[in-house]
Amino acid sequence: MADLEKFRAETRAWLEQNCPAEMRKPMTSDGDTFWGGRNTKFSSEARRVWFERMRDKGWTVPHWPKEYGGGGLDGEEAKIVRQEMAAIGARQPLTSFGISMLGPALLKYGTEEQKKEHLPKITAGLIRWCQGYSEPNAGSDLASLQTRAVGDGDDYIINGQKIWTSYANYADWIFCLVRTDPAAKKHDGISFILFDMTSKGVSTKPILLISGYSPFCETFFDNVRVPKSHVVGTVNRGWDVAKYLLQHERAMISGMGERGVGRPLGQIAADSVGADAQGKLDDAQLRSQIANFEVDEAALAAAAERAVDLAKAGQSHPAFSSAMKYYGTELNKRRYEILMSAGGIDALEWESDRSRGGARPRAWLRTKANSIEGGTSEVMLGIVAKRILDLPGA
């Protein structure tokens, strides 16, 4: 414990010295997120400085091994870094699907060569990844995917279509599920493969979201040639890799939303609905909705912390991330319903400068995808019923 307290003090001092003031302010738009990649730009000088200092310290991904550009921290230490960053409101230096999704799968299933090739480029923010799982007819039923990879010497030739591929149009590489054995049962003929989005035959077409933004694409593969050595894990056993990755994706999505940071919801609401002399919101219903929400939010935060600790202690159920994904995303949707209600008329404006281009309603609409992306709420509940409760027929 003494060591940890020392580590905490050092971490606090280092962050205090190295995190620019601008990087301690809440993010105001998607553009404030730094995703890395070949074509990336920093939105500000402070953004660049913060990222580079954290990268050099190994803290873009504190808990990954040092040899891959991580910080080599153990679970307790990594938690302290997270807590101390949260305490000063420090922004994530780097956000990427490489960190939250591909990395954990590579660490578990990748060859040493694959880890050396890809992980350092993730921690250094050099390569931006996208996820090629869903297809038009393979959403919740992901294992029915039809994108084909046919062997040709040392390569595969890939043909097919993905959909809902987030940021495919900005990504440098894709981790992709392809069918390598069409004769096998649906879960048994899938492989997990990596390739460069600039490969000949890859094209993307952005899809407009109800928020008015285009964060995802249709992605097409027309005779894309990929070396067989780019398969992660065993050929035809890609489903194991895919599912393992999904657990991490779900943990990430369940943690979305600005939990506990920024101004308390009640104060945001007070700006628009007013408060009485004691500071109580002038809308009794809204007040109780906010209070109920905050009770659940605090409890979820405890559950999230506990989930990490249980995992470390080897006591967690592998499907528990589905429970957290369900609760976390439904809660985040509730948060935005409350924010819309609190903002009232002002939160309905879509374009004005006053409304920062309709930032609030656009963010509200975006949250509706939280319970769809990474597996729908219905699928999460199904997984809990089947894998944790062991209910028959589930």
Partner 1 sequence: MALVLTEEQSMLRDSARGLISDKAPVAHLRGLRDAKDTTGFSRELWTTFAEMGFSGLLVPDQFGGSGLGCVEAGIVMEEIGRTLMPSPFLATSVLAASALSRGGSEAQKAQHLPKIADGSLLAALAIDEGAKHRPLQTKLQATRAGNGFKLSGDKAFVVDGHTADLLIVAARSAGSAGDKNGLTLFLVDPKAKGLAVERTAMVDSHNAARIVFDNVEVNADSVLGEVDQGFGLLEGVLNIGRGAVASEMVGLSDEVFGRTVTYLKERKQFGKAIGEFQALQHRAAELYIDIEITRAAVLKALQALDADVAKAATAVAVAKARAGTTATLAVQEGVQMHGGMGMTDQFDIGFFMKRARVCQELFGDSNFHTDQLASGKGY
Closer CB to partner 1, 22 or 337, in the complex: 337
- Please choose, out of 63-71, 73-81, 133-141, 272-280, the segment that lies near ligand FAD by the rule CB under 6 A: 133-141
* 133 binds ligand FAD, rule: CB under 6 A: yes
Stated as kind and residue range, the H or E segment containing 145 is none
Task: Work out what residue 351 binds among ligand FAD, partner 1, none; the CB cut-off runs from 5 to 8 Å by kind.
Answer: partner 1
Looking only at the bridges linking them, the beta strands covering 148-152 and 155-166 are antiparallel
Binding status of residue 382 toward ligand FAD by CB under 6 A: yes
Window contacting ligand FAD (CB under 6 A); options: 27-35, 119-127, 279-287, 365-373: 365-373
Residue 381's H or E segment, with its range, is helix 377-383
Neighbours of 190 (CB within 10 A): 27
d(CA 291, CA 280): 11
CB 138 within 8 A of CB 176: no
Number of residues that bind ligand FAD (CB under 6 A): 20
**Minimal distance in Å, beta carbon 272 to partner 1?**
3
Rounded least distance, CB 378 to partner 1, Å: 5
CB of 331 to partner 1, least distance (A): 14
- The pair of structure tokens assigned to 278 is 């004691």
Pair of tokens at residue 237 = 């056993």
Report the C-alpha gap between 191 and 377 in whole angstroms.
26
Q: Does 372 bind ligand FAD (CB under 6 A)?
A: yes
Please, what is the minimum distance in Å from the beta carbon of residue 159 to partner 1?
22
Out of partner 1, ligand FAD, none, what residue 27 binds, judged by CB under 5 to 8 A for its kind, is none
**For residues 23 and 90, is the Cβ–Cβ distance under 8 A?**
yes
User: Is 375 among the residues that bind ligand FAD (CB under 6 A)?
Assistant: yes
Radius of gyration of the chain (CA): 22
376 binds ligand FAD (CB under 6 A): yes
Q: At 129, list the tokens.
A: 């990844």
- Give the torsion through C-alpha atoms of 268, 272, 273, 279, to 10 deg: 50
Of 19, 106, 190, 369, the residue at the interface with ligand FAD (CB under 6 A) is 369
List of residues contacting ligand FAD (CB under 6 A):
130-134, 139-140, 164-166, 216, 369, 372-376, 378-379, 382
